Amino acid sequence: MTDPRLSLARDRWGLGEAPLRLVATRENHIYRVERDVGLALRLHRPGLRSEAELLSELQWMRALAAGGLSVPVPVPALDGALCVQSGGGLVDVVTWLDGAPMGRDGALVDLPDAPAAFAALGAAMARLHDLSDRWTPPTGFTRPAWDAEGLLGETPLWGRFWDSALMTVDQRELLSRARDAAREGLQALDATADRGLIHADLVPENVLINGAAVSLIDFDDSGFGYRLFDLATSANRADRADPSGGLRAALMDGYQARRAIDLAALPLFQALRAFSYVGWISDRLSEPGAGDRAVRMISNATRWAERLLGR
């Protein structure tokens, strides 16, 4: 059955009978609008974000693009609205960016120069953080907080990882103790930590490569948080592809060439990111391949927990 929001979007954005090609279905349904100027029509999963949160995301993306970062730019509807509520879900349209994703299905694609790609990603992330610090969000701006509460509180943004039914009793006990240790680590950092707006999900699938240039997409999880958490998200995927640490080093070099940051606490944030995926996958076991992904995520989380606890 055709989603009625498609008809609404055609009317509100003046898309006429332009063909729509479904290109993604995980969190949101994304359609490429096949016309002279590339557009992406996004049907957001009901309940994923409030209208105020989505509007804030689009305002931030527009500011980043105005600062020269390659990100999707919101396209206003004919009446000027950036997003529209319909049938319990939200609809918006953004520009389509050319390029091929760095990753697919949890693995890196065959990149001509993987270290250069990760260095370019690091530089783009540094630019995103700098532009965000120079920008003043408008009144009413609201996004999720990847702070201590959002990562380790009783109801974390991606779920109670230490309480997952997917784990054994011993694994839950291990992650509970690691959670306490991580909370202490964040408390020690909070006075001096580099915080602000972050993308929060810069995995290779959300980075497009076009020659030597990179574009950043999928800002669904963006919000306020630790800058090291942004770096840790990409670093964990770099380490999965290259356990020697070479790709992680390229990522950090690219970032630090543009922006100074203290990396001493990076392992803590890599652990926090690994923990978050256990909560995230627990609600997605019906997706194809989710069982195997859950096993991998739990194994990775327990390794980081042991490292955090000094085992």
Q: Which amino acid is it at 92?
A: D
The tokens 């055709």 sit on which residue? 2
Q: How far apart are CA 55 and CA 251, in angstroms?
A: 30
pLDDT at position 105 is 84
Q: How far apart are CA 226 and CA 249, in angstroms?
A: 19
- As a whole number, mean pLDDT of residues 7-33 equals 92
The tokens 């990100």 sit on which residue? 71
pLDDT tens sequence across 26-67: 789 999 999 878 899 999 988 889 999 999 999 999 999 999
- Give the end-to-end CA distance of the chain in Å, rounded to a whole number: 53
pLDDT at 109 over 60: yes
- As a whole number, mean pLDDT of residues 70-96 equals 94
pLDDT tens sequence across 112-122: 999 999 999 99
Q: How far apart are CA 60 and CA 128, in angstroms?
A: 10
Burial (Cβ within 10 Å: 0-12, 13-18, ≥19) of residue 243: exposed
Domain with CATH 3.30.200.20 in the chain: 4-97
- As a whole number, mean pLDDT of residues 244-251 equals 98
Architecture, CATH, for domain 4-97:
2-Layer Sandwich (3.30)
pLDDT at 24 over 70: yes
pLDDT at position 58 is 98
Domain with CATH 3.90.1200.10 in the chain: 101-308
pLDDT at 259 over 80: yes
pLDDT at position 37 is 80
pLDDT at 1 over 70: no
Length reported for the chain = 311
Q: How far apart are CA 243 and CA 258, in angstroms?
A: 25
Beta-bridge partners for 86: 89
pLDDT tens sequence across 118-159: 999 999 999 999 999 999 999 999 999 999 999 999 999 999
pLDDT at position 185 is 96
- As a whole number, mean pLDDT of residues 280-294 equals 85
pLDDT at position 263 is 97
pLDDT at position 46 is 86
Least confident of 14-23, 115-124, 172-181: 14-23
pLDDT at position 289 is 79
Scored b (16 or more CB within 10 A) or e, 170-181 reads ebbebbeebbee
pLDDT at position 274 is 98
Distance from the Cα of residue 262 to its chain's centroid: 22
Record the pTM. 0.95
pLDDT at 191 over 90: no
pLDDT at position 255 is 98
Architecture, CATH, for domain 101-308:
Alpha-Beta Complex (3.90)
Hey, what's the torsion of the CAs at 184, 161, 268, 129, to 10 degrees? -110
